[in-house]
Amino acid sequence: MNVSSNLALTLFTGLAFGAMLQPALAENGVDQDNESRTIPLPATDLFTPLRADPKEPRFFVSMLQIDSDLRDTTLGAVGFGEHFGIVRRETLADFDWQLGIAGAVFAQFDLEAPSADLVNADYIIGLPLTWRYSDWSGRVRVYHQSSHLGDEYLLREEPQRVNLSFESIEMIAAYDFTAFRLYGGGEYLFHRDPTDLGKSLLHTGLDWRGKEVAFRMGDLGGARWVAGLDVKRWEQNNWATQLSAKAGLEFAPLGNSGHNARHWSVLLEIHDGPSPYGQFYPLDVRYWGIAIQLGL
């Protein structure tokens, strides 16, 4: 069985599992009408954002030392993104689902260029459907991405521009155990420009959040050690491994349970493999640096 068939099987299995949950709850004697409630505009999400995924919608600023096939330089990378809940359905049977909207802009600036040129900007907008059942959670998302080169970079380098734009369906399932979360799934690009862009992408990873508070900051909360490893393999890059990792301190109110509370983080990050920056997807990139992240 080839990789595309494996990905299709993964997507089908996850969707079938979700469809089977409701009948299973009914067999256990759960009255969905009496024990469910609908919450408009929920402030949190059921699927915790992936900690180390460079394309996860969030607010952040990073300082990165880049080693690439094109240029070695220092990048300032920023992201402006958020997950916004539209409606959530909760049940006392511990099976909840939520529909939302998520969008982000990811931009990179060459800090060693004369005017700190904007190099690349990726725009993402999507509709995520998330769910949680006990220690299991997941996300099915249809999203659009388009990528653009900065004007100053175009004038200075005169590169060959690619009109990169695609729509994709993503499915990821995750399992929480102790302080860890293991996740896996993939994507299928169903509309692509250029048309020969690879269709299939595999995605897996591991997040860790320390149980103990490393230190307290009075009424402001406490800090915990956190880390994440994110791995992608895209058909476009001949299934080469794209590895991203982050580790550092997460600052949050002490009263939260570890799921979906607002927090901010100071993280060291590294990346090795095909570029996560849209216009440069054919190139290999290695970087390391420090990031400040805000979000769920």
Q: Which residue has the tokens 């990179």?
A: 108
Given CA atoms 244, 4, 99, 137 in this order, what sign does their dihedral have?
negative
**Nearest partner of 119 among 287, 292, 241, 290, judged by Cα:** 287
CB 3 within 8 A of CB 235: yes
pLDDT value, residue 83:
92
* H or E element in which residue 255 lies: none
* Residue 94 pLDDT: 83
Chain segment 96-126, per-residue pLDDT in tens: 999 999 999 999 999 999 889 999 999 999 9
Let me know the angle formed at the C-alpha of 81 by 76 and 86, rounded to the nearest 5 degrees: 175
- The H or E element containing residue 40 is strand 36-40
* CATH code of the domain covering residue 280: 2.40.230.10
pLDDT of the residue at 261: 64
Structure confidence at residue 34 (pLDDT): 55
- Predicted pLDDT of residue 256: 54
Looking at the structure of the chain, the number of domains it has is 1
Picking from 225, 263, 203, the residue whose alpha carbon sits closest to that of residue 10 is 203
Print the domain residue range for 206: 3-295
Q: How many Cα atoms sit within 13 Å of 204 on the Cβ side?
A: 7
- pLDDT for 72 equals 94
pLDDT value for 258: 44
Decide if 82 contacts 33 (C-beta within 8 A): no
Q: Which residues in the chain show pLDDT less than 50? A: 1, 3-32, 258-260
DSSP 50: P
